[in-house]
Amino acid sequence: MYIPIKQPLEQLILNTFRLSGVHSVHGRIFGSGFIAKQHTEGKGEDFFLVTNRHVVEGTSQIECQLANVSGQFPNSCVLKGTTKMFASDPVRGWFAHPDPAVDVAVYRLPRDRRFVDGSEARLDYSTISTTVFAGSSEDIDLSSEIIFVGYPSGMIDVKTASPIFRAGSIATPLSLDWGGKREFLIDASVFPGSSGSPVFKVADKGQVRFIGKEVKFLGLVTETMQFNAKGEFVSDKVPVSAKQAVSFKDYLNLGVVTKAACVEETIIAVLGGGLRPVSSTN
């Protein structure tokens, strides 16, 4: 199946992946993630898979499924199925932010862009550059429209690996740290499996570009807020299980987002060395 990439926001299809693995407690789990790019003067570009720490910690056999593409970007780029990246190399490893309270983990990709299954990702354009990361002090209005891209409840288009685009708005100021953590809230329907989804602030839809001032990466979805059957307020950071037990929860249409700066700090710390891989059952 060949599907053309025409609209600017469709470029995000080429960047987002569904992560799956075997968790030591929850069994087969699903989460979301994306590919980030960091340019270092004199050293070139490095690429990283990005998701939440709670998704990969204690998880083995990690596999990332994303869209496969062909053609020349952007005019003749088409989807032609799916590809998989295996990200369980115990040497290369997943590394978490130095602060254990920050729920971010990254996996550094080989610079030759080749993976153990022999596939080659088109990372030259399907990445989120740190140049479009938003800072906490940026002038972004409260209630500004946002989109986030991922795989709620592990849902995926099996033909193209296309993610699901959801919309919402900023619910707390980026300049504030919600609950004393480097996080903010969004007013949106966030479900388990969305952990690791990238969140963007976009301008007028007719002017959106993937790279440039019209798009800002704000952070990644970390958890959802809900009430349980007892009427107790809870937050859910557990990655969605393939055999999730039925539970009765009322979702509050609120999600927690870890700020973009935390992702860049994790990447810089990995490039600087000295971090230990996140513990897992590899």
In total, the chain counts a number of residues equal to 282
pLDDT of residue 270: 92
Let me know: does 30 contact 20? Beta carbons within 8 Å.
yes
Let me know: does 219 contact 182? Beta carbons within 8 Å.
no
DSSP secondary structure of 97-139? -SSTTS--EEEEPPTT-B-TTS-B--TTTSSEEGGGBPPTTS-
Over the chain (282 residues), the average pLDDT of each successive run of 10 is 59 84 86 89 86 91 80 60 67 85 90 52 64 74 88 86 90 92 92 90 56 73 77 64 54 88 94 77 46
Let me know: does 83 contact 47? Beta carbons within 8 Å.
no
Phi–psi pair at 156, nearest 5 degrees: -150, 145
Of the candidates 68, 66, 57, the residue with the CA atom closest to the CA atom of residue 29: 57
Phi–psi pair at 138, nearest 5 degrees: -70, 150
Cα–Cα distance measured from residue 266 to residue 170, given in angstroms and rounded to the nearest whole number = 24
Burial code (b: 16+ CB inside 10 Å, e: under 16) for 111-136 equals eeeebeeeeebbbeebbbebebbbeb
Q: Which helix (H) or strand (E) segment is 80 a member of?
A: strand 78-86
Burial (Cβ within 10 Å: 0-12, 13-18, ≥19) of residue 13: buried
Report CA 98 to chain centroid distance, whole Å. 19
The ranges assigned to domains in the chain are 3-272
pLDDT of residue 55: 92
Burial (Cβ within 10 Å: 0-12, 13-18, ≥19) of residue 227: middle
What CATH architecture is 3-272? Beta Barrel (2.40)
pLDDT of residue 211: 46
pLDDT of residue 26: 81
Sign of CA dihedral 199, 168, 251, 27: negative
